[in-house]
């Protein structure tokens, strides 16, 4: 059996996909304020930068850690814990496993160490295009829960970046078919 080993790089930049136990749940979108608060609380405890993010029924995040620190796993435990606690405090019913543990988050997440500027740009584009890919919206600018809007305000991307899905057929970050 091959044991998966995560790449812990102090000061590294990482791309993550974090999913809920129930992949169909919309609880992240319905409680986006609590999720943002969870990120803020975790950042106060253990600093990190959110370089790009999109909130869907799952999360995609590019996160950069401070120099000499590689503990992204601890940060995700804090984000997930703060969000779960906020839901419980608000009286939101959260399913439980048979052992009593909350059945909110998947136990594992996808992590990729960003290698260079091109890799960074590809992952940021993938994050911003994801609501279109999953057909939540026709245009990137129409999804409210994305760092795309921060990039547009800063002049890094135009409001019409990636165009209209109905006319473009663009698939950012996807591997070419048959290749």
Residue-wise pLDDT for 142-154, tens only, equals 999 999 999 999 9
Lookup: tokens for 110 = 């996808």
Structural domains of the chain, ranges and CATH numbers in brackets: 13-168 (3.30.70.1290)
Name the pTM for this structure: 0.87
Return d(Cα 35, Cα 115) in angstroms, integer. 28
pLDDT string in tens for the chain (179-residue length): 556 567 777 899 999 999 999 888 999 999 999 999 999 999 999 999 999 999 999 999 999 999 999 999 999 999 999 999 999 999 998 888 888 888 899 988 999 999 999 999 999 999 999 999 999 999 999 999 999 999 999 999 999 999 887 665 555 555 444 44
Return d(Cα 101, Cα 17) in angstroms, integer. 22
């Amino acid at each position: 059996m091959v044991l998966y080993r995560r790449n812990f790089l102090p000061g590294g930049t990482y791309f993550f996909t974090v999913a809920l136990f129930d992949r169909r749940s919309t609880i992240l979108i319905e409680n986006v304020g609590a999720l943002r608060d969870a990120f803020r609380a975790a950042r106060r405890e253990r600093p990190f930068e959110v370089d790009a993010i999109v909130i869907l029924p799952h999360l995609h995040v590019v996160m950069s850690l401070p120099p000499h620190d590689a503990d992204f796993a601890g940060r995700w435990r804090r984000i997930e814990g703060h969000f779960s606690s906020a839901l419980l405090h608000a009286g939101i019913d959260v399913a439980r496993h048979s052992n009593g543990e909350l059945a909110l988050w998947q136990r594992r997440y996808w992590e990729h160490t960003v290698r260079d500027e091109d890799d960074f740009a590809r992952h940021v584009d993938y994050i911003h295009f994801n609501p279109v890919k999953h057909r939540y919206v026709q245009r990137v600018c129409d999804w409210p829960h994305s760092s795309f809007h921060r990039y547009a305000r800063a002049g890094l991307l135009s409001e019409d970046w990636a165009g209209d899905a109905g006319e473009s057929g663009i698939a950012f970050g996807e591997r070419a078919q048959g290749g």
